[in-house]
């Protein structure tokens, strides 16, 4: 009896602790940037309703803030060049309306949906006292980001350049910037204030450039259906001739609210290119001595329908049909020996494969979220799913209907996220397997752990993140890659390649300060990672460094990242270490993403927790 009482006491204590942790997931004070937006609309010291739940919504006001204000070093007349989002466009995204009861769940869901749209930077919902004690007024405040712009993305580092002779001592090397990837996208992301996007695309890589266009039209004819299309042509820099193209077209409806029951997607696309792999602008030479280059031709397409069940506990059942045709071809150079080229084909070139598969998928998750700040961005509210997540996808394929293998495939994911004050702990794992004829099997096991600490002293937090991926049955000859601007930082991009990979980071991220209306934060990090054919063979490489994170809230919610990293491990025969004492990287986004479920998609997406090599 005494043991039973002790057990009950422990269970109650654990339950209270879990409730205390969970309760922190729902409350978050606004940042200085968000409070400033509220003050601009409602004035300083406005009286708010701190307990609006269940009260009748008397009115819903939408306040649209201009991109630039008096605190920005930009003249106000520049706002006239921006098409501000129309009020009706914002209102159709709201999940609450006048006359309904105030629901914290629907308000938080609306905030998450608006935050996910690229047209908005600051998003705040404020509850004010109504005309009577049982009524509440709701004000939705959104601040547009600049829509008519030259969007861009780049990845680069610095490499050794000329040497500057000195009067005394050895000459001094002068680093020169090296751009490994550049994308320029002149685009209107909010055409006439309707959230329609249209623009051109230019990309530059060491061996080629591409030209194309893209468009996205949301809420077609006032419905919940979206359409998107994009296309590009690849042009070789040396010959000036076109050598490939890519395009995609999709029509889809997403699950925008927890109450939505149906979603669908139909689409098709292709990619035809000459794949050449570089490591910081230098052609990657494989162990066989052959440069890693081959011709790629991929066609994808299909359709799927999803039925969603539940509210607190969500179950999404999806069924569909997908076609995936992948062709890879390599040709030897005159100087390549037959033995070296055969080794290159066997080890480094992906295997061609065609699969026509019906599939069924069940995904489960909870409808709980953590609202916090200063994890992936700066000074803006972010949301992370809490609780359990599980998913299972099964599909067959048969040579009799056009596939290249007879197989039965399955993908499974399982994870859990626990709040830790204004941080969280997430563990996630997955396994996928295709059991095929003639031992043409493909199987992957992977897992990840992320710990985001509460803010330390209110100005910094520690993020610890690690992932392990092993492609332990590899008929398709898939490869993982590490190095470069991701992790371990300080080594040449994609210089570590193999079937199994491990990467981990401990990073200190500070909160931000206001510098000329931009938000600036600092980071210090320690990276470790390695790649080989099996997990047991992985040799870890280490690096440490520091960086700067800058958020321009007038432009987007994603931070600009400038990192310096010094490799601590000796270089191997593949020149993985940088030529300078450390390396500097400049790009957008954090160096590693929050781990999440990555299920296969009809139009293609990577399903591994670490980067898949080309």
Span 348-399, pLDDT tens digits: 999 999 999 999 999 999 989 998 989 999 988 899 999 999 999 999 999 9
Overall pTM surpassing 0.85 (yes/no): no
- Residue 230 counted as domain residue: no
Last-in-domain residue among 144, 159, 176: 144
Query: Domain check: are 137 and 260 in the same one?
Result: no
pLDDT class for 154, splitting at 50, 70, 90? low
Lookup: tokens for 239: 């010959």
Instruction: Evaluate whether 326 touches 354 at the Cβ level (below 8 Å).
Output: yes
- Whether 186 maps to a domain, the answer reads no
Note the pLDDT of residue 576. 43
**Residue 205 in domain:** no
Question: Which of 253-257, 401-405, 505-509 bottoms out in mean pLDDT, i.e. has the lowest?
Answer: 253-257
Is the domain of 289 the same as that of 435?
yes
In terms of C-beta density within 10 A (0-12 exposed, 13-18 middle, 19 or more buried), how is residue 500 classed?
buried
Is residue 499 situated within a structural domain? Answer: yes
Average pLDDT, the chain: 87
Element (H, E) at 442: strand 442-452
Mean pLDDT of 243-266: 94
**Domain-embedded: residue 157:** no
607 in a structural domain: no
Q: Give the tens place of pLDDT for each residue, 321-346.
A: 999 999 999 999 999 999 999 999 99
173 pLDDT band (50/70/90 cuts)?
Answer: low
The domain that holds 459 is classified in CATH as 2.40.160
Paired tokens of 364: 């489960």
- Whole-number Cα distances in Å, 140 to 98, 112, 163, 211, 555: 13, 13, 57, 39, 20
How high is the pLDDT of residue 176? 58
Q: What is the CATH number of the domain that holds 88?
A: 3.10.20.310
Q: What is the pLDDT of residue 448?
A: 98
How far apart are the C-alpha atoms of 194 and 84, rounded to whole Å?
Answer: 9
Question: Which sign, positive or negative, has the C-alpha torsion 481, 486, 487, 493?
Answer: positive
The domain tally of the chain equals: 2
Kindly tell me if the per-residue pLDDT of 20 is higher than 80: no
In a domain, 184, yes or no: no
Domain span at residue 113?
31-144
Identify whether 91 is part of a domain: yes
In this structure, are 135 and 258 located in the same domain? no
> Are 139 and 262 in a shared domain?
no
């Amino acid at each position: 009896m005494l043991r039973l009482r002790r057990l009950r006491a422990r269970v109650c204590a654990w339950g209270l602790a879990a409730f205390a942790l969970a309760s922190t997931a729902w409350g978050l004070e606004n940042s200085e940037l968000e409070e400033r937006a509220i003050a601009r609309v409602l004035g300083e010291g406005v009286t708010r309703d701190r307990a609006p739940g269940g009260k009748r919504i008397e009115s819903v006001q939408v306040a649209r803030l201009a991109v630039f204000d008096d605190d920005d070093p930009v003249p106000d007349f520049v706002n006239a060049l921006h098409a501000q989002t129309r009020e009706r466009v914002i209102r159709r995204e709201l999940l609450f309306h006048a006359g309904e009861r105030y629901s914290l769940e629907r308000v938080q869901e609306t905030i998450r949906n608006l935050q996910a749209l690229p047209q908005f930077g600051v998003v705040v919902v404020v509850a004010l006292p109504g005309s009577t004690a049982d009524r509440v007024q709701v004000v939705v405040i959104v601040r547009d980001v600049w829509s008519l712009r030259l969007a861009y993305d780049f990845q680069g580092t610095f490499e050794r350049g000329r040497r500057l002779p000195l009067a005394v001592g050895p000459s001094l090397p002068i680093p020169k910037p090296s751009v490994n990837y550049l994308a320029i996208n002149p685009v209107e992301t909010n055409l006439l204030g309707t959230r329609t996007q249209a623009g051109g695309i230019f990309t530059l890589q060491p061996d080629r450039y591409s030209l194309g266009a893209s468009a996205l039209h949301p809420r077609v004819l006032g419905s919940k259906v979206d359409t998107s299309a994009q296309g590009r042509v690849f042009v070789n820099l040396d010959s000036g001739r076109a050598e490939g193209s890519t395009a995609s077209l999709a029509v889809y409806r997403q699950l925008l609210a927890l109450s939505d029951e149906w979603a669908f997607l139909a689409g098709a696309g292709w990619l035809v290119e000459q794949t050449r792999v570089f490591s910081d602008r230098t052609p990657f030479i494989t162990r066989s001595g052959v440069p890693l280059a081959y011709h790629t031709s991929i066609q994808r397409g299909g359709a799927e329908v999803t039925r969603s069940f539940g509210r607190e506990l969500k179950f999404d059942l999806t069924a569909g049909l997908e076609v995936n045709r992948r062709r890879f071809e390599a040709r030897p150079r005159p100087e390549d020996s037959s033995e070296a080229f055969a080794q290159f084909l066997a080890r480094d070139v992906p295997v061609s494969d065609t699969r026509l598969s019906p599939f069924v998928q069940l995904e489960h998750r909870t409808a709980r979220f953590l609202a916090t700040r200063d994890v992936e961005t700066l000074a803006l509210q972010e949301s992370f799913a809490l609780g359990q997540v599980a998913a299972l996808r099964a599909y067959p394929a048969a040579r009799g209907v056009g596939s290249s293998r007879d197989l039965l495939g399955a993908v499974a994911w399982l994870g859990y996220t626990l709040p830790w004050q204004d941080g969280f702990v997430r563990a996630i794992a997955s396994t996928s397997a295709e059991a095929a004829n003639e031992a043409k099997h493909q199987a992957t096991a992977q897992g990840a752990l992320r710990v985001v600490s509460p803010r330390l002293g209110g100005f910094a937090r520690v993020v610890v993140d690690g992932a392990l991926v092993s492609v332990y049955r590899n008929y398709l000859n898939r490869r993982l890659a590490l190095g470069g601007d991701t992790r371990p930082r300080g080594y040449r991009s994609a210089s570590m390649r193999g079937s199994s990979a491990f990467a981990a980071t401990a990073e200190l991220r500070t909160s931000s300060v206001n510098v000329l209306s931009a938000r600036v934060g600092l980071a210090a990090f320690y990276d470790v990672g390695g790649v080989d054919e099996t997990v047991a063979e992985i040799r870890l490489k280490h690096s440490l460094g520091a960086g700067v994170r800058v958020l321009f809230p007038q432009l987007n919610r994603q931070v600009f990242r400038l990192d310096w990293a010094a490799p601590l491990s000796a270089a191997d025969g593949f020149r993985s270490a940088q030529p300078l004492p450390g390396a500097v990287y400049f790009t957008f986004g954090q160096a590693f993403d929050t781990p999440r479920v990555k299920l296969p998609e009809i139009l293609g997406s990577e399903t591994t927790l670490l980067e898949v090599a080309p």
